[in-house]
Amino acid sequence: NAGVMQNPRHLVRRRGQEARLRCSPMKGHSHVYWYRQLPEEGLKFMVYLQKENIIDESGMPKERFSAEFPKEGPSILRIQQVVRGDSAAYFCASSPPTSGTPTYEQYFGPGTRLTVT
């Protein structure tokens, strides 16, 4: 059973370009979460999605950032018109459908390191 896949692992973009980060959750997982880790900081929650639905986007910047988790295919985190401050590691995590007592355990991908030049 493959783990959470993220691609690309490294992404370099010039200021003003768009960045697309992809996340394939573990098989059977229907919940996807995106986190951002800035240098020397912890994991900051960005968005929580289920298939075709955004459940919680309270951590997403109001502009330039969007996320989706379509019925088919990976989850996408899209950053438009990137700026230097967007340089960070972006982690995706997934969890299975909740049944009975939730465990809150999330399985993380290896991350995408975005560098904006």
Partner 1 sequence: DQQVKQNSPSLSVQEGRISILNCDYTNSMFDYFLWYKKYPAEGPTFLISISSIKDKNEDGRFTVFLNKSAKHLSLHIVPSQPGDSAVYFCAAAEGGYQKVTFGTGTKLQVIP
Sites of contact with partner 1 (CB under 8 A): 4, 31, 33, 35, 41-45, 48, 55-56, 91, 93, 95, 98, 102-111
Q: For partner 1, which is the closer residue by CB, 69 or 91? A: 91
Q: Measure Cα distances from 10 to 54, 64, 87, 104, 114 in Å.
A: 26, 20, 11, 28, 6
* Least CB distance to partner 1 at residue 4 (A): 7
* Least CB distance to partner 1 at residue 22 (A): 15
Q: For partner 1, which is the closer residue by CB, 28 or 42? A: 42
* Least CB distance to partner 1 at residue 114 (A): 14
C-beta of residue 79 within 8 angstroms of C-beta of residue 19: yes
